[in-house]
Amino acid sequence: MATTTAAQRREQARAEYDAFLKGCPTNQLLDRISDKWVALVVSALAPGPMRYSDLGRRIAGVSPKMLTQTLRTLERDGLLTRTVTPSVPVRVDYALTPLGTSLSLLLTAVKDWAETHFDEVHRAREHYDTETG
């Protein structure tokens, strides 16, 4: 039969859309800044460079795995630099690049929006929850 089922069509559409999203700069950036640890790392580094273990302590509750993973992707994207000083013991510093600093400014804009409209969102939630019971 010539049946292209609705499911098949949606799967097809989803595949195309996923491909589109993978190439979409905005979506890629959202994936980046939405990561739980990325915002924390970037804002921790905004005032100045920091060592690996300092970051680990500053960002309480992060596991080594996630900290490293986060730092690697940010380094790959050119948002921060990783500098190894081959002393004993070895010392590794992370610092924002200009691009990273620029991103931290964008995050500041997000933060401002959040703080400005938080009350409004909160009230909307209480209203919604009351109505719905």
Which parts of this chain interact with DNA (CB under 7 A)?
7, 10-11, 14, 35-36, 51-54, 62-66, 68, 71-72, 82, 89-92
Which among DNA, its own copies, none contacts residue 99 (Cβ within 5 to 8 A by kind)?
Answer: its own copies
Applying CB under 8 A, which of residues 17, 54, 69, 85 lies at the interface with its own copies?
Answer: 17
Applying CB under 8 A, which of residues 8, 22, 83, 110 lies at the interface with its own copies?
Answer: 110
Which among its own copies, DNA, none contacts residue 115 (Cβ within 5 to 8 A by kind)?
Answer: its own copies
- By CB under 8 A, the residues from 63 to 102 that bind its own copies are 63, 75-79, 99, 102
1 vs 47, beta carbon nearer its own copies: 47
Which among its own copies, DNA, none contacts residue 71 (Cβ within 5 to 8 A by kind)?
Answer: DNA
In 3D, which of 10, 63, 15 has the Cα closest to residue 37? 63
| Torsion sign over Cα 103, 108, 113, 114 | positive
In 3D, which of 117, 116, 85, 79 has the Cα closest to residue 98? 79
CB atoms within 10 A of CB 72: 12
The DSSP result for 16-32, as a single string, is: HHHHHHHH-HHHHHHHH
In order of 34, 49, 120, the CA distances from 116 in angstroms are 19, 29, 8
Taking a C-beta distance cutoff of 8 angstroms, is the pair 45, 95 a contact? yes
Give me the helix-helix angle, 98-132 and 25-34, nearest 10°. 80
1 vs 128, beta carbon nearer its own copies: 128
* Contact footprint for its own copies (CB under 8 A): 10, 13-18, 21, 25-31, 33-36, 39, 59-61, 63, 75-79, 99, 102-103, 106, 109-111, 113-115, 117-118, 120-121, 123-125, 127-129
